[in-house]
Every structure is written in C-alpha cells, then in structure tokens.
Chains A and B, each alone.
Chain A
Amino acid sequence: AQTVTQSQPEMSVQEAETVTLSCTYDTSESDYYLFWYKQPPSRQMILVIRQEAYKQQNATENRFSVNFQKAAKSFSLKISDSQLGDAAMYFCAYRSAGINDKIIFGKGTRLHILP
C-alpha cells in the first residue's frame, strides 16, 4: 500500500523569506500523481500544485514550486517570498494512475509566517 510521510509537523518562516516543506512517499507504481494542498483555518482544502510522475520537469505555480525526485520518492514544496496568507496546514498527497485511484494524504505540516 502507498504511504505518504511529512516529517515536519510544524515550521516557521519569516515573511518574504523562502521555506521548503518535505514530503516522501512509498509506492511500487511507476505512474501516479502528487499534490500539495493547503488548508487554512477556514478548513477549505485548496490545491496548491500538482505533478505528474511521468513528467521530469518540476511543476511551478507562481511563488510555489516543487522539487520532484522520482528515484528518491521525494516531493518537496518550496514557497518563495512567503506571505502572511500562506499560513496554513499543508498536505502532501499521492494518487495512483491505476484502477483504484484513491488519494492518500500525509499528516500535514503547519506553516507559520512570522511578520
């Protein structure tokens, strides 16, 4: 079974600085998708960025980018120029491209932005 591990329960970063959130996963599959979701205090889960495993190029969305290392099964999220609105719980998630494509989430990293 697939697993997703986020080893940093909490992190803090100074406003305008850069922070990297770690995520590793375990799978025997070769084709899958990876995601980072953000959950602010409102509880609404918001998709931040996604990566297809067959793509070697790292995904980027404005200030958010990933470092996808398929061989190492690592999928870290980098947030540049951190803003107060980035404060939230961040979840890394895995989705199989196979028949059973349920999504598995990590336990999350709570990110604090220091003004």
Chain B
Amino acid sequence: GAGVSQSPSNKVTEKGKDVELRCDPISGHTALYWYRQSLGQGLEFLIYFQGNSAPDKSGLPSDRFSAERTGGSVSTLTIQRTQQEDSAVYLCASSPGRLRNTIYFGEGSWLTVV
C-alpha cells in the first residue's frame, strides 16, 4: 500500500480482555517496528522485526505482550489480560531495509482499557 496501515485506529476494551493490533507495512519493507506512546510521553520501543532474523523483543514490558510477523509482511501485536496501564497509542513503523535509514510510521492504534 501507499503507507503503513494500522487497525483498529481506536479500541476500547475491558480490563482483562485480550486485544490484537494489526500493522500492514509498506510493501517491500523488510524492517518493522512497534512502539508504545503513553499520553504526552515519548516513544517506547517494544519489538523490532528485520527480514528473517529473530525479532528483537527486548522492549516488551511483560509476557502479556507478544508480536508476530507472518510472511515477512503483516504484523500483529497481542496484549493478553489487558491492564489500565496498557492504555496508550501503539505505533507501527516500517523501513526498506538495514542500509536505508528512513522509517515510515502508521497513524497508530489508540487503546483504552477501562
């Protein structure tokens, strides 16, 4: 597609429920990133996929968070047993590859846990 696409754009869920957030990167981009941005805060790195390499999961805050990337394209970020502190905007970004330095962001998924 023309840009990085994320869905849903807004999600309200009850505490304890699981949620899935989807990211469709720009076609051909090998690198994919997930970041979390709490209200008025900076971007917190969550996870990074680069081609067929093992993902860098060092930013995932707990084992309730997981992500996968199927076929080197679409990625899903799953949050199990959501907590109120999970409320944030979840931003996805993609990049053409290791030696291409610009990354492109989606518009984010705003998650509210009530």
Contact = CB atoms under 8 A, between A and B. Distances in A.
A6 B60 CA distance: 23
B interface, over-half SS: strand
A102 B42 contact: no
B107 A43 contact: yes
A100 interface: yes
Nearest to A107: B42
A45 B91 contact: yes
Nearest to A9: B40
B56 A47 contact: no
Interface residues of A, number: 23
Interface in A19-55: 33, 35, 37, 42-45, 47, 50, 52
Interface string A67-104: 00000000000000000000000010001010111111
A69 B35 CA distance: 28
A8 B99 CA distance: 31
A44 B107 contact: yes
Given A33-B101, A44-B107, A102-B45, 7 more contacts: A43-B108, A44-B105, A47-B102, A103-B33, A103-B103, A104-B45, A105-B35
25 contacts: A33-B101, A35-B102, A43-B107, A43-B108, A45-B93, A47-B102, A52-B101, A91-B43, A95-B101, A100-B48, A100-B56, A101-B31, A101-B50, A101-B98, A102-B33, A102-B45, A102-B48, A103-B33, A103-B45, A103-B93, A105-B35, A105-B42, A105-B43, A106-B42, A108-B41
Interface of B: 31, 33, 35, 41-43, 45, 48, 50, 56, 89, 91, 93, 98-99, 101-105, 107-108, 110
